[in-house]
Amino acid sequence: MNAKDNAIAVVTGAGSGIGRAVAVELLRTGWSVALAGRRTETLEETAALASGGADEGVSAGAAGGVPAGAALTVRTDVSRPEDVSALFAATVERFGRVDLLFNNAGTFGPGGVPVEELPYEAWRHVVDTNLNGAFLCAQAAYRQMKEQDPQGGRIINNGSISAHTPRPLSVAYTATKHALTGLTKSLSLDGRPYRIAVGQIDIGNAATDMTSRMQTGALQANGEVAPEPVMDVADVARTVRHMAELPLEANVQFATVLATAMPYVGRG
């Protein structure tokens, strides 16, 4: 799939961080994108960033064809099945199909909480967002991609370095990211008959609001607190676009993109 074909993407968690960076990268290179997130105002800010000012493609509905690079904002809580159904219905109504889902919405949850003190409500919130939300979005994308003509599309799940190696005191986040790897593998297998390619990008220390504390000090496996290097989130966005624009006959099953000097290889 190539942006020159006026490809259509859904990006969850598009109001900030990695989701925003990926959405902007796709929009600026010709993709039409449905921006999903919990806050309409931040989604509109993302659309405006891509257009270099006031967004002209946010409103639903258009006479005639859909211009490349158009944006649609849809307020969505990915943990709610009805919100996810509405997101994909709005996307198909506006753009006609779905070629890409970047399954990105997620939360770290309360940081630095020992497992024996983690409230069940906090655990459930992380699981509902990171795992259940990813499943609901993938399921909705799968249904659409299977039935549309031409058939097929691509799903890219946002994993994490924590899908391989945990940080201290991160049981809920780490468990969901390990589970996301299983989701990716299973979806990838089940999508083969329908030209649905599924891959995962595992990201370490991209510079976003969520990782701002890394530069001042992050808890290490030995109990020390130490600053960690970060990388430009735009480098992640370009990697996602590369994965997205491969023909469906090719797939990046797993990609790991991380700050070169972060304490990951040999962590612990």
Give 64: exposed, middle or buried? Use CB within 10 Å, 0-12, 13-18, 19+: exposed
Strand order in the sheet with 254-258: 71-75, 32-37, 8-12, 100-103, 153-158, 196-204, 254-258
Asked if residue 227 has a cis previous peptide bond (ω within 30° of 0), the answer is: no
Catalytic residue among 120, 142, 173, 264: 173
> Cα–Cα distance between 20 and 213 in angstroms, integer?
19
> Cα–Cα distance between 114 and 232 in angstroms, integer?
31
> Cα–Cα distance between 200 and 180 in angstroms, integer?
9
CB 226 within 8 A of CB 187: no
CB 113 within 8 A of CB 165: no
Active site residue 194: no
Phi, psi of 102 (to 5 degrees): -100, 105
> Cα–Cα distance between 37 and 207 in angstroms, integer?
20
Containing 219, the helix (H) or strand (E) segment is strand 218-219
CB 141 within 8 A of CB 101: yes
Residue positions annotated with a catalytic role: 173
